[in-house]
Amino acid sequence: MKISKTRLNGVLQIRLKPFNDLRGTYLEIFNKKLFKNTKKKVNFIQDDISISRRNVLRGIHGDFKTWKLVTCLMGEFLLLVVNNKKKDKQFKKWQIFKLSDQNNLQILIPPGFGNAHYVKSKKAIFHYKQSTLYNRESQFTINWRDKNFKFKWPKKIKPILSKRDT
């Protein structure tokens, strides 16, 4: 496991180390002991999986209490992470990460950040660990086209959206 900082303060990129042999690949996606090296005091209590098809865009959602650890189990998606902490000097700053089942990357997202993912492959499985139980009432939603944030999605994006995300 190799942990590195990103342009967003508090957001970490984690490169997992796969074990490959003639049977395929074995990948450890979380180990509490190794995770302590991030120096983040996070206690994950819930795991969620989202299975989506090409062009689905989920999010931008977040809250001010929850840590999330995002992994792509199958396929490929773009993960947008945005700082929504109004009093932070990096408020409205964002970064897009490409996660896939081939590049073995994870992203650790702190409270106060929103995230969305846009599926590029035929199908993708998005996995995330959360430090709090899901509570929609405590979440914020940012429109994926919000001009105040100046997101730069890929050209010619034709997202499939939920009512909440339109």
Angstrom distances, CA of residue 110 to CA of 136, 138, 154: 17, 15, 25
Amino acid at site 56: V
Q: 148, 99 in Cβ contact below 8 A?
A: no
The single residue of 61, 118, 127, 134 carrying the catalytic annotation is 61
DSSP 86: T
Q: Which helix (H) or strand (E) holds 113?
A: strand 113-119
Beta 140-141 vs 57-62: how paired, if at all? antiparallel
Cβ neighbours around 61 below 10 Å, total: 16
Amino acid at site 42: V
Structure-token pair, residue 48: 């969620």
Structure-token pair, residue 121: 């492959």
The single residue of 26, 127, 128, 134 carrying the catalytic annotation is 128
Task: Let me know if 26 is a catalytic residue.
Answer: no
Task: Let me know if 117 is a catalytic residue.
Answer: no
Active centre residues (catalytic) = 61, 128
